[in-house]
Structure 1
Amino acid sequence: MSTEQPTPDTEGVAPADNDNFNENSDLSEDVAKLKADLASAEEKAKQNWDLVLRTKADAENLVRRAERNAENSAKFAVERLCGELLEVLDGLDQGLQLNLESDEAKKVAEGMELTQRKLLSVLEKFGVKAIEAQGQPFNPDLHEAMVAQENADVAPDTVLMVLQKGYTLHGRLLRPARVIVSRGPVQKIDENA
């Protein structure tokens, strides 16, 4: 008996193709690398797309802001001029409050009234509007209280008298109305209590 092991009969059987096995292994590694590269490229593309969208939104916001600033610049470019013209209007108001009796003085007053109306009309064309204050509740955003007077006939914090008219320019305060405001009766402190 021989102790030799029988050798398989390899005749007619093709030898194992180690090169093909290595090729398949290399192909799998290449596919895995390509998939990783693709995932990385897709992530980078997504980041770039997000950046493009944010940049586009920022550009649109910048354009809107520039348009709004240009519009406001055009609207409020005359603010200083209007403020100066209000002093002229104040002078006309004061002149018209004088009680003049002579015929010449009445003619001068008529001319001042016409000038005042024309000046108000021009200011209104540029967005200046007078603030209605007389009899209105005191509003610190529009009124400047010069004096507070006790008055039982009206509710507290009501404008009793306008000392100087206030104006807005396109809704923005140009000058507050200077007013006298009512206050409630002052309560006396009872010293005996």
Structure 2
Amino acid sequence: MMEKEQKPVNKDEEKLEDETKTSVTKETVETVLEEENSAADQASDEKEEEQQQSLEEQLNLANNKINELEQKLEESENRYLRLQADLENYRRRVKLDLEASEKYRAQSLISDILPVIDNFERALQTKTDNKEVNSILKGVEMVYKGLLEALKKEGALPIEAVGKDFDPHFHQAVMQVNEENYASNIVVEELQKGYVLKDRVLRPSMVKVNE
């Protein structure tokens, strides 16, 4: 059997082949590394994007919570201001009521006394020559003046009427007359005395008014 003839080995070809294999292997490794780096970069980008989205979601939730708390705080402040205003109004009303109560504390009593004063005035209009009656009338007049003084101390005063312009706030016209000595709308006669308690009319004067 004949032995197969061996071709002579070309060293240059072997070297070229080795270099080619090395180059291919290196390129393959570089490609693999590039792909791995690219995948890693992509994964990193995706992770960073997910983290960014997560941060944005957390930020949105935080902003929503802040807005909700700010709204509740504003509502609480408005409610507090309303309550404070209501409290101030209540205090003011109580103060005014107390002041009015103190200012007009004698109104009911004075209103009850006025008819008695009217009777005193009618009694004092009595004219007589009887000394005993006149003596009694002097005692009545002293009591009458004492009542008027007591009313004055409480701020109750008679309303001026005769000769004054008719004022519906203080005068009650029960009759109209035509008097030449008086101008139009002037009170010419007082039929019943009116009284005021400080700045409040207890009762108006009953008067005759000139046309």
Shorter chain as normaliser: what TM range? 0.7 to 0.9
- What's the RMSD between the two structures over aligned residues? 2.1
How many angstroms apart in 1 are the aligned matches of 2:109 and 2:194?
A: 15
Residues 42-91 of structure 1: CA distance to partner in whole angstroms, max 9, x if unpaired? Answer: 12211211111111011110111012122223333432221121111111
Q: CA deviation at 1:101?
A: 2.0
Identity %: 30
Match of 2:161 in 1: 133
Structure 1 gap segments, 5+ residues each: 1-5, 184-193
Structure 2 gap segments, 5+ residues each: 1-29
How many angstroms apart in 2 are the aligned matches of 1:8 and 1:69?
A: 95
Residues 128-165 of structure 1: CA distance to partner in whole angstroms, max 9, x if unpaired? Answer: 11101110011111111121111122111111011110
Q: Does 1:177 align with 2:177?
A: no
How many angstroms apart in 1 are the aligned matches of 2:32 and 2:53?
A: 28
Q: CA deviation at 1:11?
A: 6.8
Q: CA deviation at 1:21?
A: 2.6
**Mean alpha-carbon deviation: is it higher for 120-129 or for 132-141?**
120-129
Q: SS where residue 65 of structure 1 aligns? A: helix
Q: What is the TM-score with the length of structure 2 in the denominator?
A: 0.77
Q: Does 1:55 align with 2:83?
A: yes
* Letter aligned with residue 171 of structure 1: D
How many angstroms apart in 2 are the aligned matches of 1:35 and 1:8?
A: 45
Q: What is the TM-score with the length of structure 1 in the denominator?
A: 0.83
How many angstroms apart in 1 are the aligned matches of 2:52 and 2:132?
A: 116
Q: Paired residues, what number?
A: 178
The structure that is helix-richer by fraction is: 2
Residues 92-114 of structure 1: CA distance to partner in whole angstroms, max 9, x if unpaired? Answer: 11111111223333322222221
Q: Does 1:31 align with 2:59?
A: yes
Q: SS where residue 34 of structure 2 aligns? A: coil
Correspondences of 1:69-84 after superposition (within 5 Å): 69-84=97-112
Whose Rg is larger? 2
Q: Does 1:64 align with 2:88?
A: no
Q: Does 1:86 align with 2:114?
A: yes
The one of 47, 56, 59 aligned to 1:19:
47
Match of 2:34 in 1: 10
